[in-house]
Amino acid sequence: MTGRQDVPDTPERATGSHPALDLNDVVHQRTRLGILAVLAEATEADFSYLRKVLDLTDGNLGRHLEILEGAGLITISKGHHGRRPRTWAVVTAEGRGALRRELASMQALMQRIDSVISAHED
């Protein structure tokens, strides 16, 4: 498994030597970031809603949900509405935190690159 959990908190990470080191491979992927964004807003969404909003195929969405579930960022539950089977994804507290940290890391990365590029131009 990749991601924040596999990277120990070294002094370099703690001091934030480079914001790119804080990016979480599990979360940073475009589709998984989209899934977490939907769930952070709605808390809970079913498979068909996620597929429609993110414009994904069943297989693609299922694979990314499995990865997020494996990382403990979401939980998956299955149920029925009438005779129609539904698969629901719910974001965990860890998932919310991971999305928040990822957005902060991206912001820090952009600021860092802006300063490096402007220094390079000077």
Quick check: 35 and 54 in contact, CB under 8 A? yes
Residue 49 to residue 86: CA distance in whole angstroms: 11
Q: Nearer to other proteins by C-beta: 8 or 121?
A: 121
DSSP string, 64-92: HHHHHHHTTSEEEEEEEETTEEEEEEEE-
Residue 89 to residue 78: CA distance in whole angstroms: 9
Q: Nearer to other proteins by C-beta: 2 or 115?
A: 115
Query: Could you tell me which of 116, 108, 120, 118 has the C-alpha nearest to residue 19?
Result: 108
Q: Nearer to other proteins by C-beta: 54 or 76?
A: 54
Closest distance between other proteins and the C-beta of residue 102, in Å?
9
Closest distance between other proteins and the C-beta of residue 12, in Å?
17
Closest distance between other proteins and the C-beta of residue 48, in Å?
5
Which residues sit at the interface with other proteins, rule CB under 8 A?
20, 28, 30, 33-34, 37-38, 40-49, 53-54, 81, 86, 88, 99, 103, 106-107, 109-110, 113-114, 116-117, 120
Q: Nearer to other proteins by C-beta: 36 or 71?
A: 36
Residue 39 to residue 46: CA distance in whole angstroms: 10
